[in-house]
A and B are shown apart, each in its own frame.
Chain A
Amino acid sequence: MAFACGRAITFFAHAVTAVRPMWLGFDPKPLKQRVYFSNHASHGDFILIWSVLPPRQRQVTRPVAGADYWRKGKLRSYIGSDVFNALLIERSGAQSAETPVDLMAKALDEGASLIIFPEGTRNLTDATLLPFKSGIFHLARLRPQTEFVPVWIENLNRVLPKGAFIPVPLMCEVVFGAPMKVQDDETKDEFLMRSRDALLALRPRSEAS
C-alpha cells in the first residue's frame, strides 16, 4: 500500500513537472550511503528528489523533515512516515535528549541515506538561497566518510509557491553535483561556504533573471 502510494505520488510529480534529473559529476548507480543536501522552497522538494533517484536508492533514502508539518493530520503523517519513511525533527519547543544531528547520524549508522535542507526552513524570500545552518557541518564532522551530494531543484518553487494548494504544471529539473566530504582542517564557516557554493553552481540558466 505504501509502495503503491509512493508510485502514485511519483507518477503525479512526473505528470505535473516532467521532472528530469541531471547528473553533473555524480553517478547515481553505485549503491553508496549519501547525504543529499538541497535548496528548499516547497514541501514537494524531497518528493521530487526521491522520484528521480533510481528505485534501489529510493528504498534506503529518508528525507529529514519538520515534525510540526508532517505530523499534522492523518494523511500527512501517513505519507511522511509510511510512504517516505521520513526522519522527523522537532523544530520548536521542548528539546529532546538527542539533537537533530544525533538523530541523523543514528539514521546513517542504520544504513539509510538522507535528504537534508541545510537552509533549515523553506526559502520564501526572493533570495536564491538562504545562508546554511550549521547542522550540515556538524553532521559531516560526525560522519566524515559519508558523501555529501549537492542537489539543486529548479522551478519547483514556481509550481507550488507559498500558500498555494493547486500545483501549476511547469517543467522542473533536479541537478545532482559532485559529492563532497568535509576536510580535516576545514572550519565550520569554510565548509558551509564551500557546500553552499557547490549547490549554487548547479543552477541551470543561472544568468537568467
Chain B
Amino acid sequence: MDHARSDLLTVIAGIGGVLVFASLVGWLLQWRYSPDGENSAIENLNARIRAWWIMTIAISLAFLGGRLGVVALFALCSFAALREFMTLTNATRADHNSLAVAFFVVLPFQFWLVWTQWYGLAAVFIPVYVFLLLPIVSALSGETRNYLVRIAEMQWALMICVYCVSYVPALLNLNIPGYTGRGVLLIAFLVIVVQLSDVLQYIWGKLIGRRKIAPKLSPSKTVEGFIGGCLSATLIGTCLWWMTPFSPLQAAGMSLLITQMGFAGGLVMSAIKRDRGVKDWGHSIAGHGGFIDRLDSVLFAAPIFFHVTRYFWNVG
C-alpha cells in the first residue's frame, strides 16, 4: 500500500473515531436528558451526528474512488446546491432555457474542465464566458421585467454553486513537488478544518457564547464561539500538517485563513436566507437543512485556499 493511501485510511479512521465519540456523547445526552425525545436541541444534535456519519461515509468512498469519485461527488453536490439556490431566485418561465443551460451544460462542462485539468478555461469559463453568454439566452425570451435581478441572481448562483464548488476537486490538479498523488489529502485537510471549525464554533458558542456577532443575520453566532472555534480548528489543522505540503507553521496560517473564509461564507449565505425569508436552504440533509447549509463555508474557503496554495507551492 502506498503512502498516500495509508495516510488517507489513517485520516478516515480518525474521523470515524471522532464520530464514534460524538455518537456516544449524543446517546448519553439523550439517555440522561431526553429519553422520550422531549429536548429538541438534543434530538437535533443526534440527527446531525447521524447525518455526519452518512456524509463521512460518502466522502470517504469518493476519496477511495480516486479522481473520478471526487469529481463526481462534488459535481453531485454542486447540482443539489444549484437546485436549492435557483429555487429561491426570481427566475421565471422566461428563464427556462437559461436554467436548462445552467444545469445541463454549464455545470457538467465546468466539472469536465476540472476532470481534464484544463485549468486556464476552468478559471474563466463561468466568470467570463457564461457571464456574457447566459444573459443573451434570457434576453431572447423577450421578458424584461426584473431582467437585471434575474440574470444577476443566476450568475451569482452559478458562481457560488458551480464555480466555487469546482475548486474543491480542482485541488487534485495542483502540481506540488514532493506531493504527487496526495491531492486527495489536501481536499481532506480543507474539508476537515472548515467543517470542524463550524462544529467547534457551534460548541464553543453553546458553552460560553455571550456576545452576538451579527444578531440580524445569524442569531447563533457569537464572538466567543467564533474565536474559540477558529482557534481550536486552527490548532487541529496545525496538528494535521503531515497530510499537507505545508510545514506546521504554514499549516497553521492556512488553517486560520480557511476558518476565516468559512465563517464569512456562513455569514454571507445566512444574509441571503434572511433576505428570502427562509431558515434553511433545503431539507435534504436531516438536522442540517439543505446542501448549501453544509457547504456554505467550504464554498468560500475552497477558491482562496486553492489560489494561495497554487501561488506559493505549485510548479509548472
Contact = CB atoms under 8 A, between A and B. Distances in A.
Contacts of A205: 277-278
A171 B96 contact: no
11 contacts: A158-B92, A162-B93, A164-B96, A166-B104, A168-B99, A168-B100, A169-B103, A171-B87, A205-B278, A207-B277, A208-B276
A158 to B, nearest CB: 7
A157 B100 contact: no
Interface residues of B, number: 22
Interface string B53-95: 0000000000000000000000000011011101100111100
Contacts of B283: 18, 20
Q: Is the interface of A mostly helix, strand, loop or mixed?
A: loop
Contacts of A168: 86, 96, 99-100, 103
A171 B84 contact: yes
Contacts of B100: 166, 168
Interface string A154-173: 01011001101010111100
Contact of B277 (A161, A162, A170, A208): A208
Interface in B245-286: 276-278, 282-284
A161 B83 contact: no
A168 B80 CA distance: 12
A20 B286 CA distance: 13
A171 B93 CA distance: 15
Nearest to A204: B278
A69 to B, nearest CB: 19
Contacts, number: 42
A171 B83 contact: yes
Contact of B83 (A18, A20, A162): A18
A13 to B, nearest CB: 13
A164 B90 CA distance: 18
B87 A155 contact: yes
Interface in A80-108: none
Given A205-B277, A208-B277, A170 B93 contact: no
Given A18-B83, A18-B284, A164-B96, 6 more contacts: A162-B93, A168-B99, A169-B103, A171-B87, A205-B278, A207-B277
Interface in A128-163: 155, 157-158, 161-162
Contact of B282 (A158, A166, A171): A171
Contacts of B93: 157-158, 161-162, 164
Nearest to B103: A169
Nearest to A208: B277
B83 A169 contact: yes
B87 A161 contact: no
Given A170-B86, A205-B277, A18 B92 contact: no
Contact of B91 (A18, A158, A209): A158
Nearest to A171: B87
A161 to B, nearest CB: 4
Contact of B87 (A166, A170, A207): A170
Contact of A161 (B82, B90, B96, B278): B96
Contacts of A158: 91-93
Contacts of A155: 87
B83 to A, nearest CB: 4
A158 B96 CA distance: 8
**Closest 5 A-B residue pairs measured CB to CB?**
A161-B93, A168-B99, A171-B87, A169-B83, A170-B87
